[in-house]
Structure 1
């Protein structure tokens, strides 16, 4: 059974400084070890925007499609993957006096993932446990890289 995943990091910045970086999902290839390209269809990213993501792991390459299902500036952005029904998100929680933020990346699979995705994970990506460990490691790298970009922009 697939698990919900969550990783967080603290960033010394205001909510909007973090939001301005983290909500630019076209930068995901810079942050995520698996994502190679993100194409936002139909203009600037907003609620309802559709995206195509190109992912790579070793020699394996695959595309996914997603729709932005939450877009709350300074607070939350979430996108649901069409292929497996997982919802990925970045949530911002202010700490102290809004000069530090906890940025949380989540993968929510509460609704379950598709049988086709489960088969692909088991057959091509080393099985669920291995793949989820790799995703969690990648989420930590993603958040660290976002923090670096926020600090450079501040």
Structure 2
């Protein structure tokens, strides 16, 4: 799903997981585990002390085909068992997970990429010139977000 915010589309995907919000929360707020579920983020390193909370900073190693690049992030929303979001300093996007309990004891998970102020000029240029175009890259991001949620669901439902 896409909608436009701040000159960049809101990207969103969702799923239901047969695990309580507390269990889902524990995994999505572990940056090292979350990085391993993404098809683009290879690794995430926490900068400073743990546990992760509001203000935690990370360095992420991303890959798309032969391209590898780092990004820096900061946790900007941290509402236990309901809302976890981090802002990517390098492109001004906010990635988030919203959790809501289901009637069956599971969790409805919504994964978003927001750009309330748009993305940076450098990011737009890289998407347009190196990453296949802005629309193509955004479409790829939505597919990747779906992969992340599928892997999260598989991991938690087989545990």
TM-score normalised per structure 2? 0.91
Q: Which residue of 2 aligns with 1:75?
A: 82
**2:17 maps to 1:24:** no
Q: CA deviation at 1:152?
A: 2.9
Q: How far did residue 28 of structure 1 move? A: 2.6
Q: Match of 2:99? A: 92
Distance 1:30 1:117 in 2: 23
Structure 1 residue 21 displacement after superposition: 1.5
Q: Which residue of 1 aligns with 2:111?
A: 105
Unaligned runs of 5+ in 1: none
Where has structure 1 moved over 4 Å in runs of 4 or more?
A: none
Q: Which residue of 1 aligns with 2:4?
A: none
- Note the residue ranges of structure 2 that are not aligned, 5 or more in a row: 1-6
Distance (Å, rounded) in 2 between the aligned partners of 1:17 and 1:28 = 13
Number of corresponding residues: 152
Inter-partner Cα distance in structure 2 for 1:6 and 1:25: 20
- Counterpart of 1:17 in 2: which secondary structure? helix
8 Å CA contact retained: 1:54, 1:61: yes
